[in-house]
Structure 1
Amino acid sequence: MELQLYFYHHEINMSPEAVFNTINNDEKLLNTIAKLTDIEYINNTQNSREAGTRGILQYNGDAVEAEIVQYRADRRIEMELEIPAGTLVTMFNIVPVEDRSEVTISVKLLTDSAVSFALYALKIPAVKKQFNEDMKRLEGN
C-alpha cells in the first residue's frame, strides 16, 4: 500500500544552487529540519550526496536508516528511509525558473500493514505542518 504523507509544489525566491547549498550541507540541514538532530554516515563518508550513500538519521529521537537512491546536483535528491511501519520514499526536485525555483517535495509511505497505513494517515496534518515550517526555514537561510 502507498500513502502520500506530504506533497509540496511551489515557486520559491531562491536559485536551485542556493536551495542545494542547504541540502548538500549537513550542518545547514540540521538547522533547517526541526526534528533532525544528527546524520551519521555508514562507511565513514562525510557530507556525501550520491546514489548509494547510506546513513543513520536521528529524527524525532529515533534512529532511521536512510539511503540516497537518486541524486542530480542542484536538481534532485531521492531517499528511502526504513522505519518500523515500512519504507518512506522522499523526493526533492527543483526546476529553475529565471532567478527562482519551482520546488516539488513528495513523501510517501510504502507499507504492507493496514494498521500502519491507518496510523500514518492520521499523522498527515502534523507531517504537513512540520514540512511547511521546514520550508519556511529553508527560504529564510
Structure 2
Amino acid sequence: MELQLYFYHQEISLTPKEIFSVIKSDEKLLNTIEKLTDIEYINSTSMPREEGTRAILQYSASPVEAEITGFRQDRRIELELEIPAGTVKAMFNIVPVEDRSEVTISAKLFTDSPVSFVLYALKIPSIKKQFDGAAERLGRN
C-alpha cells in the first residue's frame, strides 16, 4: 500500500545553490528539521550527499536508517528511510526560475500493514505542519 505523507510545491526566493547549501550541511539540516537531532554516516564517503550514502538519522529520539537513492547536484535528492511501519521514499526537487526556485518535496509511505497505513494517515496533519515549518525555515537559512 502507498500513502502520500507529505507534498509541498512552492516558489521560494532562493537560488538552487542557496537551497542546496542547507541540504548539504548537516548543521543546517539539524537546525531546519525540527525533530532531527543527529546524523551518523554508516559508510565512509568523501561526499556525504551522493547516491549510495547511508546514514542513521536520530529523529524524535528514534534511529532511522536512510539511504540516498538519487542525487543531482543543486537540483534533486531522493532518499529511502526504513521505519518500523515500512519504507518512506522522499524526494526533494528544485527547478531554477530566474533568481528564485520552484521547490517540490514529496514523501510517501510504502507498507504492507493496514494498521500502519491507517496510523500514518492519521498523522498526516502533524507531518504537514512540521515539514511546512521546515520549508519555511529553509527559506530563512
1:1-141 residue pairs with structure 2 within 5 A? 1-45=1-45, 48-141=48-141
Q: TM-score normalised to the size of structure 1?
A: 0.98
Taking only aligned residues, the RMSD between alpha carbons, in angstroms, comes to: 0.9
Gaps of 5+ in 2: none
Q: What secondary structure sits across from 1:116 in the alignment?
A: helix
Q: Is the 8 A contact 1:24 1:47 kept in 2?
A: no
Q: Please tell me whether the aligned partners of residues 25 and 47 of structure 1 are also in contact (alpha carbons under 8 angstroms).
A: no
Percentage identity across paired residues of the two chains: 70
Matched residue SS, 1:3: strand
Pick closer, same or farther for the CA change 1:46–1:120 going to 2, 3 Å. farther
1:26–1:47: structure 2 CA closer, same or farther, 3 Å change rule?
A: farther
Match of 1:130, SS state, is: helix
Per the normalisation by structure 2, the TM-score is 0.98
Secondary structure in 1 matching 2:131: helix
How many residue pairs are counted as aligned between the two chains? 141
| CA drift at 1:47 | 5.8
Structure 2 Cα separation of the partners of residues 66 and 86 of structure 1: 12
Deviation >2 Å, runs of 4+: 43-47
5+ long unaligned stretches in structure 1: none
